[in-house]
């Protein structure tokens, strides 16, 4: 679990952000505080993996708190920081970037946006942990270089990750997927992560509609971009653990609907409630 410390001077806003964090699988709230000094103390005591940090605090400038947080325990041990603030001036944004913030979310925002940023953080974190001997292109993608192959911006769920693309359907049938026994029963192609694959797999397995599940529906349920959800669903199709049917409307392209397939290779029956 990724442990999150919420820092906001407004008690109700902190509670709202905590609720959003708890709704994202793989994340849990370690604590919530309402001042800069309390944030620094809580980081030392709770050792969170990620801090949601407001820039407007009653006692210390937010950028000062950011610099202190990133230095807590040394560069390898300090928590990552995701700025969540109403501050939209260029100086603060630049300061947050220089200070090492991993994301910057401007209030007010839709809850879905924060959920997507959290999932993106989890994917980057997992990708970093998996790095052993990366090629330059892998490093470029991880650092968000849009000029790297597969590194185009536009998909908050995958762009900037090794192998991520931000283009629809990319990586769905890559030849280097190997047997593994994890989600989808193969080792995932580059740019796809076990954590997100598990979420998409669980969503597909829980689908009760005989018509199947669309990428947009899957994305909406777990806080992922539609493009990312489709990449995972297409991967499951490519390894035989899901199948696709087409739903034709009156205009436009047919909609791809995904159905789970049991280990024997036949379509699993739709689940029903207790």
Domain map (residue ranges) of the chain: 2-109, 127-260
Residues with Cβ < 8 Å from 129, sequence gap 6 or more? none
Question: Does pLDDT of 25 surpass 90?
Answer: no
Answer yes or no: are the C-beta atoms of 158 and 234 closer than 8 Å: no
Parallel/antiparallel/unpaired status of strands 27-33 and 50-53: unpaired
Question: Does pLDDT of 168 surpass 50?
Answer: no
Using CA atoms, how far apart are residues 248 and 246, in angstroms rounded to an integer? Answer: 6
Question: Does pLDDT of 130 surpass 50?
Answer: yes
Helix, strand, or coil (residue 68):
helix
Place 249 in a pLDDT band, splitting at 50, 70 and 90: confident
Question: Does pLDDT of 86 surpass 80?
Answer: yes
- CATH code: domain 2-109 is 3.40.50.2300
Residue that the structure tokens 């947009």 belong to: 216
Asked if omega into 257 is within 30° of 0 (cis), the reply is: no
Residue that the structure tokens 């409630």 belong to: 273
The model's pLDDT over 103-115, given as tens digits with 9 standing for 90+, comes to 999 998 888 889 9
Helix ranges, 54-132 (H): 62-71, 90-99, 111-130
Using CA atoms, how far apart are residues 173 and 49, in angstroms rounded to an integer? Answer: 34
More confident: 189 or 113? 113
User: Which tokens hold the place of 70?
Assistant: 């990133």
**pTM value?**
0.56
Using CA atoms, how far apart are residues 17 and 207, in angstroms rounded to an integer? Answer: 28
User: What's the mean pLDDT in 145-152?
Assistant: 43
Give the pLDDT of residue 142: 67
Helix, strand, or coil (residue 12):
helix
Using CA atoms, how far apart are residues 187 and 172, in angstroms rounded to an integer? Answer: 13
User: Which tokens hold the place of 217?
Assistant: 């529906």
* Percent of the chain topping pLDDT 90: 43
Fold annotation for 127-260: Arc Repressor Mutant, subunit A (1.10.10)
Parallel/antiparallel/unpaired status of strands 80-85 and 50-53: parallel
């Amino acid at each position: 679990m990724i442990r999150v410390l919420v820092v906001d001077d407004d008690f109700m806003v902190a509670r709202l952000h905590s609720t959003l964090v708890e709704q994202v699988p793989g994340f849990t709230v370690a604590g919530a505080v309402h001042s800069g000094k309390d944030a620094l103390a809580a980081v030392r005591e709770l050792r969170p993996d990620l801090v949601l940090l407001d820039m407007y605090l009653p006692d210390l400038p937010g950028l000062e708190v950011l610099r202190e947080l990133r230095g807590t325990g040394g560069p390898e041990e300090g928590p990552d920081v995701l700025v969540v603030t109403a501050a939209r001036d260029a100086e603060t944004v630049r300061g947050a970037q220089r200070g090492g913030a991993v994301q910057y979310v401007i209030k007010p925002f839709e809850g879905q946006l924060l959920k997507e940023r959290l999932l993106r953080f989890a994917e980057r974190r997992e990708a970093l942990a998996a790095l052993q001997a990366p090629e330059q292109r892998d490093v470029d993608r991880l650092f968000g270089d849009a000029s790297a192959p597969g590194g185009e911006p536009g998909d908050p769920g995958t762009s900037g990750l090794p192998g991520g693309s931000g283009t629809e359907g990319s990586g769905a049938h890559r030849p280097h997927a190997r047997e593994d026994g994890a989600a989808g029963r193969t080792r995932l192609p580059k740019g796809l992560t076990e954590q997100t694959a598990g979420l998409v797999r669980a969503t597909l397995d829980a689908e009760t509609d005989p018509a199947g599940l669309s990428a947009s529906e899957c994305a909406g349920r777990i806080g992922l971009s539609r493009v990312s959800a489709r990449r995972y669903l297409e991967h499951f199709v490519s390894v035989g653990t899901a199948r696709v049917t087409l739903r034709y409307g009156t205009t436009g392209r047919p909609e791809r609907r995904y159905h789970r397939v049991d280990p024997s290779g036949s379509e699993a029956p739709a689940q029903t409630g207790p």
